[in-house]
Homo-oligomer: A and B are copies of this chain.
Amino acid sequence: MLTDEYRFKILKELQQDPDISQRELASRLGISLGKVNFCLKALIEKGLVKVENFRNNANKVSYLYLLTPKGIEDRAILTRHFLQKKLQEYESLTQEIEELRKEVLTKKSEND
């Protein structure tokens, strides 16, 4: 499945490193090769990524996974979206930590 999270992560990696193998990408994101392959195809299908055969000066054929204008736009939208989401996470995480702290202190005083 291609979630927002991996759409974002993959677009981010590709933008800053268009010549990257699917294996390397899988390794960086901590997911399987199969999943990367699936997600990448979905991104291409959606028109967010375009794959090009790139022939460098040593006559070596390698692949380039380039973000299309639509892909760049999508990445920007996702960035704003995730900032909002992370800020909400920050709120709830702060509260969660507060509760855990209280609890740890309570338990401690019970044993004193």
- A61-97 contacts to B, CB under 8 A, are 76, 79-80, 82-83, 86-87, 89-90, 93-94, 96-97
Check if A103 is an interface residue, CB within 8 A of chain B.
yes
**Are A79 and B93 interface neighbours, CB within 8 A?**
no
**Copies per complex?**
2
**Interface size range on A against B:** 10 to 19
Given contacts A76-B107, A107-B76, contact A86 B96 (CB under 8 A): yes
Check if A101 is an interface residue, CB within 8 A of chain B.
yes
**Are A86 and B90 interface neighbours, CB within 8 A?**
no
Residue from B80, B89, B104 in contact with A79 in the complex, judged by beta carbons closer than 8 Å: B104
Minimum CB–CB distance for A104 against chain B, Å? 6
